[in-house]
Structure 1
Amino acid sequence: MMLIDEAARKRGIEPEFVVIGSSGPCDYPPETDRFKCEHIEFTEKTLLKSPLKLFNTIRSCDAIFDIGEGDSFSDIYGSKRLVKLLLSKGMALSTKVPLILSPQTIGPFKSDWGNKISAAMMKKSTKVFARDHRSFAVLEEMEVPDREEVIDLAFHLPFKKHTEVRNSEKLAVGLNISALLHHGGYEGNANQFGLTVDYVALTERLIQVLDERGHEIHLVPHVIPEGFPEEDDYLLAQKLVEQRPHLKLAPRFRGPIEAKSYISGLDFFVGARMHATIGAFSAGVPVVPLAYSRKFTGLYESLKYGHVVDLKVETTESALEKILSKLDGREQLQTEVDASGSIIRRKLSAYSSALEELMDSLANGQQPIGQQKAKG
């Protein structure tokens, strides 16, 4: 929203936003009075009860920016979620309103039907932005014409450094423990993501070793939906603090800006929620992302940051050893985090330029962007 707003205002347009998606407050951007924002829920229930309202809302827009929940344009989370994502795109395309897929992970698609329908919809979209080189390779393979590789938009998120969150005499290590992985995925203890590590054992051992080293441990929940305990990092962190009362528990953040500001005050960060690790990385904190899908490796390879620990390759013990080794070598990680700034700025600038071009097209009543040559 912030990037779209900035691009529109550069072209003399004052945008109004309609947020169509999962329920939640529209209070994430700073200066919220500047953002005229309406929220329309897009769920199975609303699709059954009021599909015409959803359709008319989509049709009333000048453009649809579909971010696909960042990583949900895939079938690794199950066919139900992919069908919902495809349905929303199909509704947008049927209205003839320009559909732009904002920077996101594309794929993987394990099913043949998911791959074919997804490719067909992207080919009909006005523009498709990938947030990493592996997703862009999928677009190339699918021969999606209007494609471009940029970066995850969370790198643009502002923050205020919070050094008061920690004891300056100790090394402050932030741990983002994913409730989703802790519970085995959406299907319970089924190891839905095919991990080769015991994630619960890994987190317990990591906390134990950090304790033995005398570090200050901050548990930093990052996905905190109310009413979904299997996804709620905060509820899990509370249980861990009950077992070890000396652990520091970050607050239940009201939005990602608060989360990033808190993380910015730490010395080191380990996380299994990708946007928690992006918050650390883009706030200048050396970080070890714990990957359960290729969205992690794709993004960080694009930044030339080779410190992702792959939970689908390592053993529990080797994953722990790698994390601790990177903690010991955190100065090198810090150097690489700092060096990536130019890549991030270039990729964000490319997206902003594309948005400005889109705004020009909308203002002139032209077909936005059009059949451009793909940019990598």
Structure 2
Amino acid sequence: MMSKKYSIGLCGLSFCSPNLGCSALAYAFRKLLIDIFKNDNVQLKIVVFSNVDSKDYVVTSEKWVSEELIRYSFKKINSIKLAKAKIEECDVVFDFTEGDSFSDIYGLKRFALTSFFKFVTIKKDGCLVLGPQTYGPFKNKHVRKMAKWLISSADRVYARDKKSAKLVESITGIKAITTTDVAFALPKDQVQIDGCGRPSFGLNVSGLLWTGGYTESNQFGLSVNYREYIKRLIPEIIERGYNVHLIPHVVGDMYPECDSPICKELSEQYEHCILAPDFVSPMQAKGYISNMDVFSGARMHATIGAFSSGVVTLPFAYSPKFEGLYESIGYPYLIDGRKLSTDEAVALTLKYLDETEKLREAQCKALEKASQNLGAFSADLKDWFNRFILATDKD
């Protein structure tokens, strides 16, 4: 029997981003997508739309899957024309908006740029699926209006938490299908570390929070003084007998986005601090993180990497996406940087550190819930493909 050929476009998924959280989302979804089609006698073409250099792209080993990377830049009109033409060739386009950028929290320009391919797909009568992601907040009325149109025009809408699903329904009337973050499915590389005879505490320090956000003026409205919190926390953790592994999850030296410079600076200030390398893939980062005994961080996908590896995890929440995601799977042990004082945040972190067995038990149950949600997502997506894509005769 002749195999069918399908072309699937992936937008808002950055496989080669220095933000390893964005890459984690991308590789995890590609794995889920390939698993869905694995036994269906399909020749699958995955078309990745990327605005970053793709030299470190990790190609799948599946022989029945071909991949094409379309590099575009909004400053190069010919690259945009090519990207638009490739969108037209896709049977379906998935857009994840980097997981958390379908919002005006990062500014109006970012919202506009991340909406471009959604708009193009809709206007060309393409099939648009909004992958599991956070929706909102939409503080600007014009952004809210555009978001309503984009969501309402999509063929399928998934949310990664209940809070986002409620927001979608409140502004569009659409009941988004609630699942969880697909990054829970990310595989990991085997990475060895030198424990030096002490337990390991992984700490992801966000360069973006350290500098006050893109505006450098507490853009995310933290009630915690983040710099003071980190500087007070590290000695306390070391005093409890841990090595502190400072782990950047947005790598490189781009200011103010990257974690690497501040992690390096802090590693030189304290004994028993170890600087993790700049990883080239999220699978490497997850492999390193999986060696930790306890992990805390402000990059959500760094915490997901720890959480899904069974490492006791203390997420530092700087936006509603943390609360939405972790509460949806029944894990309330967050350090909320928008509600707590600096003193309270330090005290709560250390309290959780003294209750690791209690947290580990809650985490096991939450991981089971996340796994069930991902299984339900894959099943729903498979069913949707059978009805709307695989049922189409393309021979």
Do the two structures share a fold, i.e. TM-score over 0.5? yes
Residues 68 and 85, structure 1, Cα contact 8 Å, conserved in 2: yes
Residues 168 and 175, structure 2, Cα contact 8 Å, conserved in 1: no
Partner Cα separation in structure 2 for residue 262 and residue 229 of structure 1:
25
Alpha-carbon offset, residue 303 of structure 1: 1.0
Structure 1 pair 335–314 and aligned structure 2 pair: CA distance change class (3 A): same
* 1:256 is aligned to 2:282: yes
1:51-66 to 2 correspondences below 5 Å:
51-66=80-95
1:299 aligned residue: 325
Partner Cα separation in structure 1 for residue 174 and residue 165 of structure 2:
11
Residues 277 and 288, structure 1, Cα contact 8 Å, conserved in 2: yes
Alpha-carbon offset, residue 33 of structure 1: 6.7
Partner Cα separation in structure 2 for residue 144 and residue 54 of structure 1:
31
2:347 aligned residue: 321
Q: Which moved more, 1:12-21 or 1:261-270?
A: 12-21
Alpha-carbon offset, residue 56 of structure 1: 0.4
Partner Cα separation in structure 1 for residue 240 and residue 59 of structure 2:
38
Residues 119 and 144, structure 1, Cα contact 8 Å, conserved in 2: no
1:110 aligned residue: 139
2:312 aligned residue: 286
Percent identity over paired residues: 36
Residues 43 and 64, structure 2, Cα contact 8 Å, conserved in 1: no
Partner Cα separation in structure 1 for residue 189 and residue 112 of structure 2:
39
2:18 aligned residue: none
Residues 28 and 256, structure 1, Cα contact 8 Å, conserved in 2: no
1:208 aligned residue: 235
Residue 223 of structure 1 aligns with an amino acid whose one-letter code is V
1:38 aligned residue: 68
Residues 151 and 172, structure 2, Cα contact 8 Å, conserved in 1: no
Residues 101 and 128, structure 1, Cα contact 8 Å, conserved in 2: yes
Alpha-carbon offset, residue 115 of structure 1: 0.9
Structure 1 pair 82–251 and aligned structure 2 pair: CA distance change class (3 A): same
162, 165, 174: which is aligned to 1:133?
A: 162
Partner Cα separation in structure 2 for residue 264 and residue 32 of structure 1:
26
242, 266, 275: which is aligned to 1:240?
A: 266
Partner Cα separation in structure 2 for residue 216 and residue 15 of structure 1:
46
**CA displacement, residues 353-372 of structure 1 (integer Å, 9 cap, x when unaligned):** 12212332212228xxxxxx
Alpha-carbon offset, residue 222 of structure 1: 0.9
1:169 aligned residue: 197
* 1:11 is aligned to 2:37: no
Q: TM-score, normalised by structure 2?
A: 0.87
86, 91, 94: which is aligned to 2:115?
A: 86
Structure 1 pair 177–32 and aligned structure 2 pair: CA distance change class (3 A): farther
**CA displacement, residues 107-148 of structure 1 (integer Å, 9 cap, x when unaligned):** 110011111111111111011110011001111112353620
Alpha-carbon offset, residue 166 of structure 1: 4.2
* 1:223 is aligned to 2:250: yes
Residues 43 and 65, structure 2, Cα contact 8 Å, conserved in 1: no
3-state SS of paired residue (1:45): coil
Alpha-carbon offset, residue 29 of structure 1: 6.5
1:372 aligned residue: none
Residue 199 of structure 2 aligns with an amino acid whose one-letter code is L
3-state SS of paired residue (1:44): coil
Structure 1 pair 227–170 and aligned structure 2 pair: CA distance change class (3 A): closer
| Structure 2 stretches lacking a partner, 5+ long | 1-29
3-state SS of paired residue (1:138): helix
Partner Cα separation in structure 2 for residue 315 and residue 199 of structure 1:
10
Residues 264 and 280, structure 1, Cα contact 8 Å, conserved in 2: yes
Partner Cα separation in structure 2 for residue 306 and residue 66 of structure 1:
29
Partner Cα separation in structure 2 for residue 28 and residue 337 of structure 1:
30
3-state SS of paired residue (2:75): helix
Residues 10 and 356, structure 1, Cα contact 8 Å, conserved in 2: no
Structure 1 pair 233–131 and aligned structure 2 pair: CA distance change class (3 A): same
Residues 201 and 294, structure 2, Cα contact 8 Å, conserved in 1: yes
Residues 242 and 272, structure 2, Cα contact 8 Å, conserved in 1: no
Residues 36 and 378, structure 2, Cα contact 8 Å, conserved in 1: yes
348, 351, 355: which is aligned to 2:374?
A: 348
**CA displacement, residues 270-318 of structure 1 (integer Å, 9 cap, x when unaligned):** 1000000001111111111101100000000001101111101111111
Structure 1 pair 42–90 and aligned structure 2 pair: CA distance change class (3 A): same
Residues 184 and 308, structure 2, Cα contact 8 Å, conserved in 1: yes
Alpha-carbon offset, residue 321 of structure 1: 0.3
281, 290, 296: which is aligned to 1:270?
A: 296
Aligned residues: 362
Residue 216 of structure 1 aligns with an amino acid whose one-letter code is N
**CA displacement, residues 220-254 of structure 1 (integer Å, 9 cap, x when unaligned):** 11112x46231111222112223336411112111
| Structure 1 stretches lacking a partner, 5+ long | 367-376
After TM superposition, which residue ranges in structure 1, 4 or more long, deviate above 6 angstroms?
A: none
Q: TM-score, normalised by structure 1?
A: 0.91
3-state SS of paired residue (1:184): coil
Partner Cα separation in structure 2 for residue 310 and residue 176 of structure 1:
15
